[in-house]
Amino acid sequence: MIKKFKPINKAYKFRIYPNQEQQELIDKTIGCSRFIYNEFLTKTKEENYQSYTKYSRQLPQLKKEYEWLKEVDSIALQQSLKDLDRAFKNFFSGKYNYPKFKSKKSARQSYRTQKFIRSSGSTNIEIKDNYIKLPKLSWVKFVKSKKVKGKINNVTVSKSRAGKYYISINVRQILKTVVNNNQGELGLDLGIKDFLTTSNGEHIENPGHLSKYQDKLAKLQRRLARKEEGSNNWKKLKKKIAKVHEKIKNIRKDFLHKLSTRLTKENQLLVIEDLNVKGMLKNSKLAKHISDCAWNMFTTMLKYKGEWYDCIVHKVDMFFASSQTCNVCGTKNPKVKDLSVRTWTCSCGAAHNRDINAGKNLLKQGKLDLGIR
């Protein structure tokens, strides 16, 4: 048994309860941050993108032109420019599309502020009991469901479609992990009927988070259709629908976090298939179920938690025929392309469960890719 200590960046998310004045200031700061992002993105349409440094020097002049920008946290405006700078760097790398304008109607409404220590030794962000001190907002009450460990880097303040306010506290902390020499290796086959099937035969049932609330959502949507768009009753129903979707999202994330943490802590190697989720969503019959599974979110969690807990997470090429290939003799059975075929017997006599066989093949191929015997 080996103990390891490693520095990591981690985020703690909590719900906050700002008073009316603080709510108005949060909404205003979100709006101003969006304005700065869009204003300088417009500049890039007229001239080639310059740099964060050049644009940040133009902020004081912009504040003179628009007096209301002085009312909000100045660090949030700078961070908005940094977001734009990062968006252009991602675009220039060739991996992402050209940055888009931010909309007040988008699901994500937030701003980020940075922590710093003044010459006097005081700081602009600190936590005392269940209150957090934030620039311009002063002390805000929050639900402290767990202890915040580590040195605070920055805080993101967000507002959901349901009208709830949250903070995400990014910290730098030292993570202590215990590595056992006898930890396992697993191939993971993601699916819809079973969310996950491992190469050792474990089946993780798909919770079907969305389907459990489907009837409730349908009822609310029918009521919404009968209301006049933009009316007070229409807005109330929109908020009710947003609350149900938020509940589904939170339950889903909780399930994915717990499963990904367990798998990365218990194993030294996890092999998954590099799924083309975007292409799979074009299947109208399965799109809703695939979206509900949130495979991309799950694989992202496995990746960064694998780094935390010294677990290698490897993706096998999406064109690898994991379900169709016999893990014993390597014979390929094209009939297994039919998703209704759950069990089959190979010509060598080996009997297979479709998903377990896929998990075993993924593990074998992953070890081959990595040069592990």
Beta strands 351-353; 267-273: pairing state: unpaired
First and final C-alpha spacing in the chain: 22
- DSSP letter for 98, please: P
| Contact between residue 42 and residue 55 where contact means Cβ atoms under 8 Å apart | no
| Catalytic residue from among 65, 189, 317, 369 | 189
Catalytic residue of the set 73, 85, 273, 292:
273
The answer to whether 306 and 312 are in contact (CB under 8 A) is yes
Concerning whether 266 is annotated as a catalytic residue, the answer is no
**3-state SS class at 230:** coil
d(CA 162, CA 157): 15
Placement of tokens 């040195």 in the chain: 151
Tokens linked to 124 = 């602009």
DSSP code of 194? Answer: E
Rounded Cα distance, 196 and 12, in Å: 27
83 tagged catalytic: no
What is the Cα–Cα distance from 37 to 101, expressed in whole angstroms? 8
Q: Give the DSSP letter of residue 71.
A: G
Copy the structure tokens of residue 274: 């590099």
The answer to whether 198 touches 22, Cβ cutoff 8 Å, is no
Residue 205 bears catalytic tag = no
Q: Of the listed 73, 85, 292, 355, which one is catalytic? A: 355
Question: What is the rounded distance in angstroms from the CA atom of residue 113 to the CA atom of residue 64?
Answer: 22
Residues serving a catalytic function are: 189, 273, 355
